[in-house]
Amino acid sequence: MRFDTIITNGTVVHANKTEKADVGIVGEKIAAVGKGLAKKARGKGKNNGDGPRIIDAKGHYVIPGGVDVHVHLALPFCGTTSSDDYNTGTRAAARGGVTTLIDFAIPYGEESLQQAVDNWHAKADGKACIDYTFHVAVTKWNQHKHQMADMVKKGFPTFKQFMIYEREGWQADDAAIFGALEKCRELDAMLLIHAESSRVLDELIARHHNEEEMKRLGARLHAVTRPNFIEAEAIQRAVTWAEVTGGRLYVVHMSTAEGTEIIRAAHKRGLENVFAETCAQYLVLDDSLFDGPDGHLYGCCPQIKKKPDQKRLWRGLRDDTVCAVSTDTCTFTREQKAMWQGDWTKIPMGMPGLETLLPIVYTHGVLKDRLSVNEFVDKCCTAPARIMGLGDRKGQINKGYDADIAIIHPKKKIKVDHAQMETNADWSPYQGWNLAGFSRTTLSRGKVIVDDYKFCGQNGWGKWLPRETAGRM
Ligand code: URP
Ligand code: ZN
Ligand code: ZN
């Protein structure tokens, strides 16, 4: 067989095994994984220049490109628009070894689901450097429930509801969530839920929203007003609706030990229709950051929690309670974050993350013995692709799969410096951290888009990915 590209001398890491093997690529697809492919090709080509491109991965892991299923690019939110768009956001992803992302198409005002999807296509078309698709947010249940079947037919089998964000016009109540889960069961689709207990949260915010406390506690009030039960109660409620409807539920950005226990208990009861992800920031950052002078930069919803929560989430990844690690990338610059002016309820909520997802999970997971390298690949690449309905083409290094690959050094560390990064942020939650797991070489459908740690891809290369179903195991 003639290959266009061969990755040789590397250690290929799968979710369930590790092997010394070459990876042969023809066009956009992986055509073979096996020993000696480069040797055979060299024999045939006699180095006359028309042989395959050889990528030497000696001393490196060859892993499937990361699949980040929770991303917000160019999102109008909190009175501004998130600063990473499909240009900088997907470049950042590529540099971090992420080759597929899923954003959220959110209708504004009276927009239909189709209008939301059209708006998000317009943001991505001609700009994205990696492949992408969207979850579709159901924000006006009474209108949107009639439009969900059409969305599934058009390749969007994942929907999103938010229990909070009334001010944004995105909030879904219990009846809407219950109805959406029923609908998802009927349509072979899945519902993603932002689970926080809205009314009690509003009450706690109102109690602390005064000049004296804001002056004294600043960004710490973000944590004070969101005790862990705010997330736990909401997750419990969503799980109950999933249990009684049979609809597939995916809890996004789970941040608490209590939430993890609820998901664990659901799995123990035999509920196979309940999934939960966490995000890199909940695994490594804690709420002591709110006490620093830049505390407001770390504002995101749900907020970063405490060390025992991190510990339980890591364990949840190990025992499969937590099925994936994503980023919830929603980048805001320092200038945008400064809009808070001392009032934590005005912080543009979210952080950059795409460029550091794999390095954070690799360094703090694999190198600290919290995850095996195979579990790392499973949670960042293979499982998210499978759960989101991309399991036949993304997230694996196997024959027939898209040639989306990241080549990472097992030990070499790079100091995080936002000034050297692709993300459009003038700060990083991980500034100065030494991280291994940055991608030396990233391939997207066979094309090298990062070489020697530098982006060399092309705007518009990324394609939209239609999907048929989601949440089937
Ligand atoms: O703070 C966050 N997470 N911003 C994005 C919106 C959301 O809730 O995911
Ligand atoms: Zn959310
Ligand atoms: Zn989000």
- When pLDDT is cut at 50, 70 and 90, the band that residue 9 belongs to is very high
3-state secondary structure (DSSP) of residue 61: strand
When pLDDT is averaged across residues 355-361 and rounded to a whole number, the result is 99
Q: What tokens were used for 117?
A: 């999807």
How does strand 76-77 pair with strand 80-81? Answer: antiparallel
| Residue appearing with tokens 């042989």 | 51
Average pLDDT taken over every residue of the chain: 97
Residue nearest (by alpha carbon) to ligand 1 atom 3 = 301
Residues of the chain within CATH 2.30.40.10 domain(s) are 5-63+398-455
Q: What tokens were used for 429?
A: 């939650």
Q: Tell me 59's DSSP state.
A: T
Contact residues of ligand 1, CB 6 A cut-off: 72, 194, 300-301, 328, 330, 349-350
Among all bound ligands, the one having the nearest atom to the CA of 328 is: 3
Whether residue 47 has pLDDT greater than 70: no
**Residue 107 contacts residue 140 (beta carbons within 8 Å):** yes
Q: In a mutational test of the pocket of ligand 1, which residue from 194, 349, 354 has the highest number of ligand atoms less than 8 Å from its CB? A: 349
Q: What tokens were used for 79?
A: 């009175």
Q: Alpha-carbon distance 332 to 233, whole Å?
A: 29
Whether residue 45 has pLDDT greater than 60: no
Give the nearest ligand 1 atom to 104 CA.
Answer: 9
Cα 398 to ligand 1 centre (Å): 34
Q: Tell me 18's DSSP state.
A: E
**Residue 11 contacts residue 378 (beta carbons within 8 Å):** no
Whether residue 74 has pLDDT greater than 90: yes
Residues of the chain within CATH 3.20.20.140 domain(s) are 65-387
Answer yes or no: pTM beyond 0.75: yes
pLDDT digits (tens, 9 = 90+) for 422-465: 999 999 999 999 999 999 999 999 999 999 999 999 999 999 99
Task: Return the CATH number of the domain spanning residue range 5-63+398-455.
Answer: 2.30.40.10
Q: Alpha-carbon distance 97 to 405, whole Å?
A: 8
What pLDDT score does 472 carry? 84
Q: In a mutational test of the pocket of ligand 1, which residue from 282, 330, 337 has the highest number of ligand atoms less than 8 Å from its CB? A: 330
What pLDDT score does 101 carry? 99
DSSP H/E element including 179: helix 174-187
Handedness of CA 55, 56, 60, 62 (dihedral sign): positive
Please state, as a whole number, how many other Cβ atoms lie within 10 Å of the Cβ of residue 296. 24
**DSSP per residue over 441-472, as a string?**
EEEETTEEEEETTEE---TT---B---S--S-
Whether residue 418 has pLDDT greater than 60: yes
Q: What tokens were used for 273?
A: 């229709």
Omega of the bond leading into 52 within 30 degrees of 0 (cis): no
Give the nearest ligand 1 atom to 70 CA.
Answer: 9
Full 3-state SS string of 284-327: HCCHHHHHCCCHHHHCCCCCCCCHHHHHHHHHHHHCCCCCEEEC
pLDDT digits (tens, 9 = 90+) for 76-98: 999 999 999 999 999 999 999 99
**Residue 418 contacts residue 426 (beta carbons within 8 Å):** yes
Going through 1-78 in order, the beta strands assigned E by DSSP cover 5-8, 11-13, 18-20, 22-26, 29-34, 53-56, 61-64, 66-68, 76-77
Phi, psi of 102 (to 5 degrees): -120, 120
The residue type at 293? P
How far is CA 181 from its chain centroid?
Answer: 22
pLDDT digits (tens, 9 = 90+) for 395-405: 999 999 999 99
Instruction: Answer whether CATH 3.20.20.140 is correct for domain 65-387.
Output: yes
Provide the greatest CA pair distance for the chain.
Answer: 77
Cα 301 to ligand 2 centre (Å): 6
DSSP H/E element including 103: strand 98-105
Whether residue 248 has pLDDT greater than 90: yes
Q: Alpha-carbon distance 384 to 365, whole Å?
A: 17
Whether residue 386 has pLDDT greater than 70: yes
Cα 252 to ligand 1 centre (Å): 10
Residue nearest (by alpha carbon) to ligand 1 atom 9 = 328
What pLDDT score does 50 carry? 76
**Residue 180 contacts residue 247 (beta carbons within 8 Å):** yes
Nearest to 407, CA basis, from 443, 359, 454: 443
Q: Alpha-carbon distance 22 to 34, whole Å?
A: 5
Residue nearest (by alpha carbon) to ligand 1 atom 7 = 301
The number of residues in the chain equals 473
Q: In a mutational test of the pocket of ligand 1, which residue from 72, 102, 345 has the highest number of ligand atoms less than 8 Å from its CB? A: 72
H-type alpha helices, 56-100: 88-95
Helices (H) and strands (E) in the chain, counts: 17, 23
When pLDDT is averaged across residues 332-338 and rounded to a whole number, the result is 98
**If you compute the radius of gyration of the chain from its CA atoms, what whole number of angstroms results?**
22
